[in-house]
Structures are given as structure tokens and as C-alpha cells.
A = this chain, B = another copy of it.
Amino acid sequence: MIEIGKNAKQAAKTIANASTLLKNSMLEQISKALLDHEKEIIEENTKDVILAKINGMKPSLIDRLALTHERIVSMSNAVLEIVQLDDPIGEVLSMTKRPNGLLIGKKRVPMGVIGIIFEARPNVTVDAAALCLKAGSAVILKGGSDAIHSNKAIVRIMRDALTDIDKNCIQLIEDTSRESTMALMKMNQYVDLLIPRGGAGLIKAVVENATVPVIETGTGNCHIYVDETADIEMAIRILINAKTQRTGVCNAAESLLVHKNIADAFLPKAIQALSEAGCEIRGCERTRKYSDCVKTATVQDYATEYLDLILSVKIVDNLDEAIDHINLYSTGHSESIITNNYAHANRFLDEIDSAAVYVNASTRFTDGGEFGFGAEMGISTQKMHARGPMGLKEITTTKYIIYGNGQIR
């Protein structure tokens, strides 16, 4: 592990000052190499899929693990999209002249070495490596054991494509043990930033054990609040989209709050639409009066990110109760108010303490692509460094460059 750390730190020096042209050329070679070695990738991936089936992995997870021709083309194209993005490195964000003549500039520079701990999806291996390379940082990847054959093949192919730059810009920790993960979390001398991408358990373990700086990502107990003055058709359209368009993602809605004065008009239609979409509903006592199909919601339900076709529902007396409920149970990811009341919209935007706060739109838009970043390294749910979708800029840092002509204090 120390060897991997040292290699990464050394490689970070070469990539930090690489030109945009060189970085893009290496990314294009990676994109091409993935297509050229499709057969090898699929062979290795098949080993993972067979083992996953033997180990009784859930079909939905096996589906995320399995690679096909289309998925490899999509991985390869994702790298080309990163080529198209502006290079964030070198931009001078501000430059001011001080009274003593010092010229003080704030310049965007690479982070250095970024560690990524992730779970089963092999496409993360390519995405994360390509984003770090474009952002001028070396990356240390630690994938899950379920995808180890796929990851080893993909990383070998990507490294071979790095003909004109230190191959250690991309490294995979092949030892999938818990010990190697723990070691990575404590490599303060070599790792500048650690990003866990995966389920709540993984992220909790990293936050609790890491001594290197961490960005928490992903867990989203997202809320839709239907206010008294909501357009009912719009509210139902947004609710159904946020809850059912994709259920396994962090920006899907998990909880619905309804103002008591609109419940009679809204809830019967909402319950019908949710039921037609196959969604189980767990509600408060007042909600349960609207339909026999609504099960009882516990406090635990309100705190749960289902990632499934289940929705918790609560009727609230007013906006204050909605805001308090959300700030208590939310994971700080994405929340939306459906309203036509100007003051309520503004209070929701001001008082909800989450990374992305919406008025009259689906929470499903919290995504680097949808925000116009072009690609994404996860969605930060902490307040330090980056909050919300993280694009290339969010995995860089800055330094001050100061031009003097002999100044002393």
C-alpha cells in the first residue's frame, strides 16, 4: 500500500503540469483501448457475474455489474465526453494588487492524489480515472470484490493506454480486503482527498475511519413537499417522476409531505397514480384515511432511503412543520416544494439545509450532467469543499501565487 501511495504521489507531479493537449490525447487513447479490448473486458466481467450468481447477488445488482457491448461503448464514449470538457487547471480565479504592490492571484491547481472507494459498478472505474486524469490528479482506485476481475482488466487496459505519461496516474488496489481499505483511509502522507461512492454503509465506514480528508457522497433521503397552493397536476407529475423514473438512485424521492388543506384534492389522485406505478405507500394516520392500501409509517420509515418502489407520506399542518420535518430527517441531498406561493417558495429555498433545493421541479435533476457539468464524480452531501454534484472543478484545489519585487513586512 505504501508503494502505491509513493507511486501515486510521484505520478501526481507529472500529471499536475501536463498540458491539456497531452491529457486529452491520453484520454482518447483510453477511450479507444476500451473498445479494442472489449472481448477481454467481457471475458473478465463474465467471471465476476458467474461468481455473483453463485454468491446469490440480487438480480438488480447483477444487472449493474454485467458489461455488454453497448455498455463498453457507453464507457468509451463517456471518456470522449470528458475530453470535450474545459480543462479546469490553471485558471486564475482572482488577482488583486495590494497597497504594498504585491500581486496576489488565486489559481486553480490539481488536488494531487485522489482515492476513490466504490462498489460494484465497473463503469465507475473508467469514469473516476478519466475525471481525475483530466483534473490533473493521480487516482488510487479501490473497487469492490464483486467486480475485481472486471476492474483489473479495465485498469490494465487504461494503464497500457497511458503511453506518454506515468502509468501510475491510474492505480488499482487489487487486494479487496477490508484491511487495504482501512490502510487507504489513513494514508495522509500520500492521499489528498478520498471519495467514497456507494451505499450508506460504505460511506459511514469511511467517514468514521478515515484520517485523510473525505467528501461524503450519495445518500439521498429526498423529499417532495406539496404546499397548500400547489398545481395538483404538476405535483402529481413531479412526484411520480421523482419517485418512480429510477428508484435505485440517490436523487429519487423517498418521502412526500402534503399540506393538510390540499390533502383532500391531492392525495386520492396521488395515491392512485403511485399505486398504478406499483409503489408501496407508508403514511401517517391522517394519510391512511385516504386509502386502505396505505400502510402505517414508523419514525424509521421517515428516516429511510428506500432506493425502491416505496414512499413514506405525511400530512403537515403548515410550511413550518414541513421544513422542520425535512431538516430533521433529510440527508441534505435534494428537496422540492410544489407551490404557487411566492413567500413559501422563498422560505423553502432559504430554510431547507440541503445541497439542492427546488421549487416546482423533480429532485431527479440533481446530477452533474443535468446541471451542465458534463460529467460527475458523485454528489456531495457534506458542506465542506463541494456541495451537490461534483464536476471537474470540484476535484481541484487552489493555491495563492504572489508576485513581489522585494516586499517585506
- 1/0 contact trace for A85-126 toward B, CB 8 Å? 000000000001010001010000001100000000000000
Q: A96-B372, A383-B192, A384-B193 are in contact. Are A402 and B354 (CB under 8 A)?
A: no
- A404 touching B360 by the CB < 8 A rule? yes
A408-B364 in contact given A112-B383, A384-B397, A402-B356 (Cβ < 8 Å): yes
Contact-residue bracket for chain A: 35 or more
> Which B residues lie within 8 Å of A111 (CB)?
383
Give the complex CA separation of A193 and B382 in angstroms.
10
Chain B residues, Cβ within 8 Å of A404: 358-362
Is the pair A364, B188 in contact by a Cβ cutoff of 8 Å? no
- Contacts A241-B408, A384-B384, A384-B385; is A361 near B102 (CB within 8 Å)? yes
Residue from A214, A215, A397 with most neighbouring chain B CB atoms (10 Å)? A397
- Pairwise interchain contact A408-B357, C-beta atoms closer than 8 A: no
A226-237: contact bitstring with B at CB < 8 Å (1 yes, 0 no)? Answer: 000001001001
A399 interface neighbour in B193, B208, B361, B387, Cβ under 8 Å = B387
User: Which chain B residues border A16 with CB–CB below 8 Å?
Assistant: 351, 353
Q: Are A365 and B409 neighbours in the complex by a CB distance under 8 Å?
A: yes
Selected from B112, B242, B356, B359, the residue in CB contact (under 8 A) with A353 is B112
Secondary structure at the A interface, as helix, strand, loop or mixed, is mixed
Residues facing B in A18-73 (CB within 8 A) are: none
Contact A355 B400, beta carbon cutoff 8 Å = yes
A208-B211 contact given A371-B104, A383-B112, A402-B361, CB 8 Å threshold: yes
Check A201 for interface membership: any CB of B closer than 8 A: no
Interface centre among A214, A238, A349 (most CB of B within 10 A): A349
Contact with B along A182-214 (1 / 0, CB 8 A): 000000100011000000000000011001011
Question: A106 to chain B: closest CB distance in Å?
Answer: 8
Q: Is A407 an interface residue (CB 8 A)?
A: yes
Number of copies: 2
Shortest beta-carbon distance, A105 to chain B, in Å? 9
Closest to A186 in B: B208
Q: Quick one: closest B residue to A405, CB to CB?
A: B360
Specify the chain B residue showing the minimal Cβ separation from A383. B397
Whether a CB of chain B sits under 8 angstroms from the CB of A175 is no
A104 and B388 alpha carbons, distance in the complex (Å): 12
CB contacts under 8 Å to B, within A272-312, are: none
Q: Which residues of the other chain, B, contact A231 by a CB distance below 8 angstroms?
A: 406
Residues in A356-405 with C-beta less than 8 Å from chain B: 356-362, 364-366, 370-372, 382-385, 387-388, 397-405
In this complex, what residue of B is CB-closest to A409?
Answer: B364
Q: How many whole Å from A388's CB to the nearest CB in chain B?
A: 5
User: In the complex, what distance in Å separates the CA atom of A353 from the CA atom of B366?
Assistant: 33
Q: Which residues of B contact A3 (CB under 8 A)?
A: none
> A314: shortest Cβ distance to chain B, in Å?
20
B17 adjacent to A350 (CB under 8 Å): yes
Instruction: Tell me the complex Cα distance, A402–B372, Å.
Output: 13
Interface pairs A-B: 3 shortest CB-CB: A361-B404, A241-B408, A383-B397
List residues of chain A with CB under 8 Å of any chain B CB. Answer: 13, 16-17, 96, 98, 102, 104, 111-112, 188, 192-193, 207-208, 211, 213-215, 231, 234, 237-238, 241-242, 245, 327, 349-351, 353-362, 364-366, 370-372, 382-385, 387-388, 397-409
Other CB < 8 Å A-B pairs besides A355-B399, A357-B402, 8 of them?
Answer: A102-B365, A112-B383, A237-B408, A242-B408, A360-B406, A361-B404, A383-B397, A388-B400
